[in-house]
């Protein structure tokens, strides 16, 4: 059987969501899925892909523009593919303790794309983060890395499992 080809696309300002996307890519490859991991603004063509995982870091309740733009630009193609979404943001352990629903704007993207699922992962804010508010949050002691690599890996495995049992889009 031809291996299924998955795109993991992401929006990231300070790099932590980019790393989550890489971890998702590794976990999908562990399940023998051919996987490309790309910044959302470098995605040209969705034709080679059988499924898409799209995610972004959250900023004031919004995804990064490159991720929302990809969702809008490629809406028609994405609606025909199995699509999973993730957000990364909370700077505490809340994302591990209970399901955090998508921010309203992200919920709208999920509806527009007819996404299979959305999940929220903990975020990360560390000393190299750019921006005035980021520095303020760090000064207030609100930084830290709240990403749970094992949870991310487990979720990616559920995506892979669903994908291999899902019918391919035509
Ligand atoms: C200015 C600013 C606004 C943020 N807004 C949110 C938010 O609305 N919701 C949330 O859960 N996290 C929020 N965060 C936390 C970020 O989403 C978190 O640091 C994330 O991991 C950043 O992803 P990135 O490193 O890929 O850019 C915010 C952080 C900053 C610096």
Per-residue pLDDT tens over the stretch 137-153: 999 999 999 999 999 99
Q: Using CA positions, which residue lies closest to atom 3 of ligand 1?
A: 59
Per-residue pLDDT tens over the stretch 59-103: 999 999 999 999 999 999 999 999 999 999 999 999 999 999 999
Its domain, for residue 96, covers 5-165
Q: Would residue 92 count as lying in a domain?
A: yes
Q: Would residue 170 count as lying in a domain?
A: no
56: Cβ below 6 Å to ligand 1? Answer: no
Q: Would residue 59 count as lying in a domain?
A: yes
Output the CA 88–ligand 1 centroid distance in Å.
7
Atom of ligand 1 nearest to the CA of 17: 26
What is the full DSSP assignment across 15-55?
Answer: SHHHHHHHHHHHHHHHTT-EEEEEEGGG----TT-SEEEEE
Tokens of 48: 């080679």
Q: Say which CATH number the domain at 96 has.
A: 3.40.50.360
- Mean pLDDT score across all residues of the chain: 95
Output the CA 99–ligand 1 centroid distance in Å.
17
The pTM score is: 0.96
Per-residue pLDDT tens over the stretch 153-164: 999 999 999 998
Output the CA 62–ligand 1 centroid distance in Å.
9
């Amino acid at each position: 059987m031809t291996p299924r080809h998955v795109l993991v696309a992401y929006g990231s300002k300070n790099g932590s969501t980019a790393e989550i996307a890489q971890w998702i890519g590794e976990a999908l490859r562990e399940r023998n899925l051919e996987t490309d991991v790309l910044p959302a603004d470098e995605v040209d063509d969705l034709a080679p892909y059988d499924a898409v995982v799209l995610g972004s870091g959250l900023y004031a309740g919004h995804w990064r523009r490159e991720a929302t733009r990809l969702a809008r630009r490629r809406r028609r193609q994405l609606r025909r593919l199995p699509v999973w979404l993730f957000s990364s943001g909370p700077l505490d352990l809340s994302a591990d303790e209970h399901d955090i629903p998508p921010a309203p704007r992200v919920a709208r993207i999920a509806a527009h794309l007819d996404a299979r699922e959305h999940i929220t992962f903990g975020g990360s804010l560390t000393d190299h983060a750019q921006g005035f508010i980021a520095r303020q949050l760090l000064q207030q002691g609100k930084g830290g890395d709240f990403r749970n690599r094992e949870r991310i890996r487990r979720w990616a495995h559920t995506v892979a499992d669903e994908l291999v049992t899902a019918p391919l889009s035509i």
